[in-house]
Structure 1
Amino acid sequence: MKTSRRTFIRVVGAGAATAALAAPAMAQSVIDEILSSHSRATWDDQFDARPTAQPGRVVSTSPVFSQQTVAYVEQTMAHYQNIVANGGWPIVPSGKALKLGVVDPDVAVLRRRLMISGDLAESAGISNAFDSYVDVALKRFQTRHGLPADGATGRYTYAAMNISADIRLGQLQTNLERLRNMPDTSGRFVMVNIPAAEIEAVENGRVASRHVAVVGKIDRQTPRLTSKIHEINLNPYWNAPESIVRRDIIPLMRKNPNYLKENNIHILGPNGEVDPLSIDWNTEEAAKLRFRQDPGRINAMASTKINFHNPHAVYLHDTPQQSLFNGLERFHSSGCVRVQNVRDLVVWILKETQGWDRRRIEQTIQTESDVKIPVANPVPIHMTYVSAWATDQGVAHFRDDIYGLDGVDALQISTL
């Protein structure tokens, strides 16, 4: 049975643009503030749950996409094979909201479930009390499954918890084969993990930075590919793909004739700019034309576009819709990948490109002028599909099979 999580967390202000840029006279102070800021968002999975010394840490500096992970998954599979051989774990009754302070017979079942999966130490014992040990263990479980670590047994926590051990074992096996067939991961590279909606920048076998991402919808999937990042485009123009013109822009213009003007989008034809009022929006005439959005704070790519050669015309980019990064489901794009804290990633990509430190990047963004920067040493990028993996601490991570590539209905979610 497919489980819908779409309504669990609703994004706030999906159509809102980011705050206006400072006036030129204030530009330098804005840059200094950005450079000294310590409030940038952290990666979803950096929660270190240690109810006792026994369960391994959730956070790890080991990259998901690595030969090390192959070994970790193999070790974890041996543990899960043992769990399956011993009857798996119990189904936790899903009718109640269990949380810290609750005393209920179902808590005893929850404790047993968390012990078997390694989230709660055996020394915590079995009782009906939802105490601090269970609270930390449940948050740890939620983090491993890409859920908000709120310590309460909601609908989606129950759904993840009650997937059987043998199905989880099969999910590990499926992803082990994907990891075994990975391309070369030596040196520096960027990995986009599609089902996790996360990005890792990897250098010398360790994760240099992690980023929350927004990837493609089920009907507009982010492709799996390997390429090299060859260019950073600051303050980019956005050229709308024909698919977006047909699916989105034409219907929006039928509803709101001022949509293009309000969003700084121009129509370009063979003889120059075309007046939107001259187009019959009830036909497909507009799909033959070029739609280009000016650089600026409401541009679909905001400040940054990260280019790499590929046949799908996809790229990584910034977004004015920062609230999307806070969602439980981050499958909203038309195939391209939106990156939280994208400027941190750009600084890392350009570290070997002379003359482009963080200060110059921030100064250039303030100008709102379209600037293309060739990457001195193009950085490999792997857009992958890994829905289950393990860390060096023997901690198994699982994500929903958003595109249905694992072949098991119980692992999928629905957009309905």
Structure 2
Amino acid sequence: MTRPTLLRSVALLAIAAASFVASKPATAVQVTAFQQAVAENVSGDDQVAAFYRARGFEPIWTGGTEADLERRTALLEALGMARHHGLPTAKYNSDALLSQMASVRSGFERGALEVALTELYLDFARDLQTGVIEKPRSVVSSIVREIPRRDASYYLDGLLSDSPRAFLATLAPQSHEYARLMKAKMRLEHTIAHGGWGAPVPSGKFEPGDTGAGVVALRNRLIAMGYLDRTVTARYDSAMIDAVRQFQEDHGLTVDGVTGGETLTQINATPQDRLKSVMVAMERERWLNLPDGLGERHILVNLTDFNARIFDHGKLTFETRSVVGHQDSDRQTPEFSDEMDHMVINPSWYVPRSIIVKEYLPKLRSNPGAVSHLQITDSRGRVVSRNQSFARYSGNSFPFAMRQPPGPRNALGTVKFMFPNKYNIYLHDTPAKSLFSREVRTYSHGCVRLNDPHDFAYALLARQTDDPVGFFQSRLRSGSETRVNLDEPVPVHLIYRTAFTHAKGHTQFRRDVYGRDAALWNALSAAGVEIGGIRS
């Protein structure tokens, strides 16, 4: 919506409202017509109905006051920015709204318009603040995050308690990440409008010292993407090596300066594909638009990036590599937020029922001595003798649990970090250290393994002891299972971002290892989100 169109529309409504008031003095019949229209149109929404009853059915949009004019002008201006936020502009049906504004001639019509504006405002405000997809779990079952939806009263009271423009400006996430994603979106849209990044690089493998048409295509692609200064070289020289290495780092690839395999696949990704990743990331950021923020100190685990990070006052203070759940649907790490309140040093591993039934019971049925590193325990925690046959048990009838005591071979290593949740997900050490050198690290049953768990523990304990290393190591050396509470629980956010940003440098992109972003993009597209005016 252009500004002249917006102002003309606001003026039409102002003229209609003024002429209605001037030509027909406010008799009881006229007021009743407006009230009747409002009451009829809000009957399906208890919160909105209560709001209008509490203010005696006085309008907030369609009256003739300066305040009404300011609110409807601010709303139309905000709707004009919906596209920049990656929102479904057609959903708000501005054309129909403007037509309705221009056609108001009676109190009843003005009442219907009043409610239509309120409903439009609430739809837009909720989409902008906490996301277009109301129930992400209905799209991807592993997204079990609680979306911080606000009541209608929050938006309506907020609109009246502040400058409308100021309040509307607070709705979008205020994080630096969201602002940088918006900028990345604009850059990609500009790239698409100007022809993209040119021809893809032909298949093959390109190494330092190579020459030829493929190297020229690679050079041109790197220049177009901003990784290489303009040059006429046809040789895979040192500048191209540096450019490829930087590209690999920005895309979570093995940094070796060679273009082939997954590096070539990622180089040939289209700006349209990258734009979809950015727009899905913006939607995900809206899901994290929590009333109290992510936490002054918080832990962020990006499942696609295979890293766990601690942030203090918005600054990264600790980082370690991670291993996350396998791509199999029943082993993927879910997305949610909770609070870490303790760690366990020298932990036992209490084997999840799903693993017992699927992996260990079939072995025990054939051989009671199988998986001997695990104890079989009864309902009271007592160790059960293996001098028996387990062949008579099925997955439903097996009455025992299984436990691995603390020790060097324990599946959880030497420490686990607990944020108790119904999904039985936590962070922990692991004896399988070789997996941290892999490019794609999806090997666990769902929990998050840490490459540097001791340093992670020291960082957490530093706030409550002057000697975090000594404190931790003394309990580790005891060999006993020891619970250590955190004096200040730390919010943990398990997120999934195939596009994210750094304060400086290129936008980061990662592979959609679980296919979740593809599913979310389809849902956003179905809701009306578009790229370049074309729904895809």
TM-score normalised by length of structure 1: 0.78
User: In structure 1, how many angstroms separate the alpha carbons of the residues matched to 2:437 and 2:398?
Assistant: 33
Map residues 29-178 of structure 1 onto 2, 5 A cutoff.
67-122=175-230, 125-178=231-284
CA contact (8 A) 2:306 2:324 kept: yes
- After superposition, the Cα gap between the structure-2 partners of 1:304 and 1:91, relative to the gap in structure 1 and judged at 3 Å, is farther
233-242 or 283-292, which moves further after superposition?
283-292
Deviations 1:253-289 (A, max 9, x none): 467654432x2x1101146321234132474267431
Displacement, 1:366? 2.3
The reply to whether residue 249 of structure 1 matches residue 360 of structure 2 is yes
Between the two structures, name the one with larger relative contact order (CA 8 Å, sep ≥ 6): 1
235-244 or 94-103, which moves further after superposition?
94-103
- After superposition, the Cα gap between the structure-2 partners of 1:408 and 1:292, relative to the gap in structure 1 and judged at 3 Å, is closer
- After superposition, the Cα gap between the structure-2 partners of 1:405 and 1:372, relative to the gap in structure 1 and judged at 3 Å, is same
Which secondary structure does the structure 1 equivalent of 2:436 belong to? helix
Which secondary structure does the structure 1 equivalent of 2:518 belong to? coil
The corresponding residue for 1:291 is: 402
What is the number of residues matched between the two proteins?
A: 343
Map residues 249-268 of structure 1 onto 2, 5 A cutoff.
249-253=360-364, 258-261=369-372, 263=373, 265-268=374-377
CA contact (8 A) 1:100 1:131 kept: yes
Q: Which has the larger radius of gyration?
A: 2
The reply to whether residue 390 of structure 1 matches residue 496 of structure 2 is no
Q: Which amino acid aligns with 2:316?
A: V
Q: Which runs of 5+ in 1 are unaligned?
A: 1-64, 412-416
CA contact (8 A) 1:76 1:394 kept: no
Give % identity. 28
The reply to whether residue 230 of structure 1 matches residue 341 of structure 2 is yes
Map residues 245-394 of structure 1 onto 2, 5 A cutoff.
245-253=356-364, 258-261=369-372, 263=373, 265-270=374-379, 272-281=382-391, 283-284=393-394, 287-354=398-465, 357-394=468-505
- After superposition, the Cα gap between the structure-2 partners of 1:152 and 1:257, relative to the gap in structure 1 and judged at 3 Å, is farther
CA contact (8 A) 1:66 1:179 kept: no
The corresponding residue for 1:205 is: 314
Q: Which amino acid aligns with 1:131?
A: D
Which secondary structure does the structure 1 equivalent of 2:516 belong to? coil
TM-score normalised by length of structure 2: 0.61
Q: Which amino acid aligns with 2:191?
A: I
- After superposition, the Cα gap between the structure-2 partners of 1:295 and 1:367, relative to the gap in structure 1 and judged at 3 Å, is same
User: In structure 2, how many angstroms separate the alpha carbons of the residues matched to 1:209 and 1:176?
Assistant: 25
Q: Which amino acid aligns with 2:383?
A: E
Deviations 1:270-315 (A, max 9, x none): 4632123413247426743110101011000010000012110111
User: In structure 2, how many angstroms separate the alpha carbons of the residues matched to 1:282 and 1:121?
Assistant: 70
The corresponding residue for 1:55 is: none
User: In structure 2, how many angstroms separate the alpha carbons of the residues matched to 1:66 and 1:300?
Assistant: 40
User: In structure 2, how many angstroms separate the alpha carbons of the residues matched to 1:324 and 1:281?
Assistant: 35
From 507, 513, 517, give the equivalent of 1:406.
517
- After superposition, the Cα gap between the structure-2 partners of 1:256 and 1:201, relative to the gap in structure 1 and judged at 3 Å, is farther
181-190 or 311-320, which moves further after superposition?
181-190
From 292, 305, 311, give the equivalent of 1:196.
305
Which secondary structure does the structure 2 equivalent of 1:273 belong to? coil
The corresponding residue for 1:33 is: none
CA contact (8 A) 2:201 2:221 kept: no
CA contact (8 A) 1:216 1:332 kept: yes
User: In structure 1, how many angstroms separate the alpha carbons of the residues matched to 2:323 and 2:264?
Assistant: 24
The corresponding residue for 1:48 is: none
CA contact (8 A) 1:189 1:201 kept: yes
Displacement, 1:68? 1.0
- After superposition, the Cα gap between the structure-2 partners of 1:288 and 1:180, relative to the gap in structure 1 and judged at 3 Å, is same
Q: Which runs of 5+ in 2 are unaligned?
A: 1-172, 523-536
CA contact (8 A) 1:106 1:128 kept: no
CA contact (8 A) 1:66 1:185 kept: no
- After superposition, the Cα gap between the structure-2 partners of 1:116 and 1:68, relative to the gap in structure 1 and judged at 3 Å, is same
- After superposition, the Cα gap between the structure-2 partners of 1:143 and 1:281, relative to the gap in structure 1 and judged at 3 Å, is farther
Q: Which amino acid aligns with 1:196?
A: D
Which secondary structure does the structure 2 equivalent of 1:191 belong to? strand
392-401 or 316-325, which moves further after superposition?
392-401
Displacement, 1:161? 1.4
CA contact (8 A) 2:501 2:508 kept: yes
User: In structure 2, how many angstroms separate the alpha carbons of the residues matched to 1:408 and 1:260?
Assistant: 39
CA contact (8 A) 1:72 1:394 kept: no
The CA RMSD over aligned residues, in Å, is 2.2
Displacement, 1:409? 11
- After superposition, the Cα gap between the structure-2 partners of 1:281 and 1:315, relative to the gap in structure 1 and judged at 3 Å, is farther
User: In structure 1, how many angstroms separate the alpha carbons of the residues matched to 2:428 and 2:360?
Assistant: 20
User: In structure 1, how many angstroms separate the alpha carbons of the residues matched to 2:319 and 2:174?
Assistant: 15
Q: Which amino acid aligns with 1:187?
A: E
Which secondary structure does the structure 1 equivalent of 2:192 belong to? helix
Displacement, 1:127? 2.6
User: In structure 2, how many angstroms separate the alpha carbons of the residues matched to 1:254 and 1:326?
Assistant: 36
Q: Which amino acid aligns with 1:306?
A: F
Higher strand share: 1
- After superposition, the Cα gap between the structure-2 partners of 1:145 and 1:362, relative to the gap in structure 1 and judged at 3 Å, is same
User: In structure 1, how many angstroms separate the alpha carbons of the residues matched to 2:213 and 2:308?
Assistant: 40
User: In structure 1, how many angstroms separate the alpha carbons of the residues matched to 2:366 and 2:278?
Assistant: 47
Displacement, 1:235? 0.2
Q: Which amino acid aligns with 1:92?
A: P
